[in-house]
Amino acid sequence: MSLDDPDGELVRRVGEGDALAVEALVARKLPRMTALAHRLLGDRAEAEDVVQELFLRVWKSAGAWRPGAARFDTWMHRVAYNLCTDRIRKRREVALPETWDAPDPQPLADAAISAEQQSDAVGLALAALAPRQREAIVLTYYQELPNRDAAALMGIGVDALESLLARGRRALKARLEEGDD
């Protein structure tokens, strides 16, 4: 049962209330899930709220978790993804000014640019992508989900995922080059 799921045994122990297993699961998943939420939402504080909600659901579900079609990591991604997209949807409901746009990323051409500045510039460019393109890139590149899992999470086929990835990569490059001008 847990042979197919690298988290299966740990989750079973979490379900039994094993405090060491709880700590191990948090050590294993907290950075990964925080990074996912941070990149999808572009906001650290909101990402932390999402992660807390996600882990509340983990504690609630661990006891009843039965290995099935999905791995536990995929299930966590699904919950986190849904929590993030709900928040993004609510942001859109709060009307943004017509002219609202993400700030321009800083240029990357300068060889002396620090890694931190470069990271910030890419972060801004990511935040400026169309949400579905950003989701596809975050799930595939940063979370390293297999293409089928990423597509299933987004409720699309692999072809559509590939199209979003290609457009997202082009847009990201164009945006960062714009910043160079």
Partner 1 sequence: MTEPMDFARFETLVAAYGATPNRWPEEERAAAEAFARTDPRAAGLLSQADAIDALLFAHRVAEPSRTLRAMVLESAPKRRRIITRVRLWWGALALALTAAGGVLAGSAAAAALDPVTANVQLYPHDDVPSPDVPEENAL
Question: Given the rule CB under 8 A, which residues bind partner 1?
Answer: 14, 16-19, 22-23, 26, 30-31, 34-35, 38-39, 44, 48, 51-52, 55-56, 59, 108, 115-116, 118-119, 121-123, 125-126, 137, 140-142, 144, 146-147, 158, 161-163, 165-166, 169-170, 172-173, 176
For residues 82 and 104, give the distance between their C-alpha atoms in angstroms, rounded to a whole number.
28
Token pair for 86: 């709900």
Which CB, 4 or 116, lies closer to partner 1?
Answer: 116
Q: Spell out the residues 6+ positions from residue 107 whose beta carbon is closer than 8 angstroms to its own.
A: 113, 121, 176, 179, 180, 181
- Minimum distance of partner 1 from residue 111's CB (angstroms): 14
Which CB, 93 or 159, lies closer to partner 1?
Answer: 159
- Minimum distance of partner 1 from residue 155's CB (angstroms): 18
Token pair for 92: 């859109």
Which CB, 92 or 148, lies closer to partner 1?
Answer: 148
Which CB, 23 or 92, lies closer to partner 1?
Answer: 23
Q: Spell out the residues 6+ positions from residue 135 whose beta carbon is closer than 8 angstroms to its own.
A: 40, 81, 85, 154, 164
- Minimum distance of partner 1 from residue 34's CB (angstroms): 4
For residues 181 and 86, give the distance between their C-alpha atoms in angstroms, rounded to a whole number.
36
